[in-house]
Amino acid sequence: MQSAEQLRVLIIDDHPFVLQGCARILEEAEVARVLQSGGLADGYRQYRAHHPHVIIVDLSIKTAALGGLSFVRRLRLHDKKTPILVLSMHSDPMIIRRALEAGATGYLLKDAPSDEFLKAFHTVRSGKPYLSHEVASEIAFSETRLNQSPLQALTVRELQTLSLIAEGKSYGVIAEELNISYKTVANTTSQIKMKLGARSLPELMRIAIQHLPGPSGRRNRD
């Protein structure tokens, strides 16, 4: 394992204060090189160019579409080893479990103190999984509810699409944000309706608002 003086770390987050704060903590821990990116596409380019030893990524970049899940999954298709620490506001157990299933090595909430951030970083750096006590408890006490959630049947792409639908965005806007065709959005929405038993778009939006985590990372309520 590399010493701190040899480490390269890539942080991907669209909040400048988060980027700067994480970078400062790592630099004070004498990490040799901290790379920063405000977008997933640029983050992937930096990963290919610099081969960081650890990646720290938010799940929601620019939109609430959980694009970080796709980033983790895409990276794992080519790289099974580089540790990935998800640093996110989402405390919803379903989202956490999806991140781990996609290939995240660890999951930490953004309101965690700096000492826990370092603990999580050093744990995943050594190749071991990390979940904070709060996150682990959320998962442990919600297994039954998770298995009953209608969203469990959805793929990551379908979750992304549903999240944007819940924001009231049009198919055209969703296609642009997810970099897919209008037809793909329409077909994906039809698949979601079938899986969730929604007969109309308004009914699908109601289901999405009820079950998807809101801005605080917790499910919305009617």
CATH code, domain with 192: 1.10.10.10
Question: Do residues 136 and 160 both lie within one domain?
Answer: no
Alpha-carbon span 210 to 222, nearest angstrom: 6
Question: Do residues 201 and 184 both lie within one domain?
Answer: yes
Alpha-carbon span 38 to 33, nearest angstrom: 17
pLDDT in tens, 82-135: 999 999 988 878 788 889 988 999 999 999 999 999 999 999 999 999 998 888
Tell me: pLDDT of 214 over 60: no
Note down the domain range covering 195: 149-211
Write out the H or E segment, with its range, that includes residue 188. Answer: helix 182-196
Question: Do residues 99 and 43 both lie within one domain?
Answer: yes
pLDDT in tens, 6-36: 789 999 999 999 999 999 999 998 888 999 9
Answer with the one of 80, 114, 140 that is the final residue of a domain.
140
Average pLDDT rounded to a whole number, residues 70-86: 93
pLDDT, mean over the chain:
85
What is the domain count for the chain? 2
Residue 45: half-sphere exposure toward Cβ, Cα within 13 Å: 7
8 Å CB contact between 90 and 213: yes
Indicate yes or no: pTM above 0.85. Answer: no
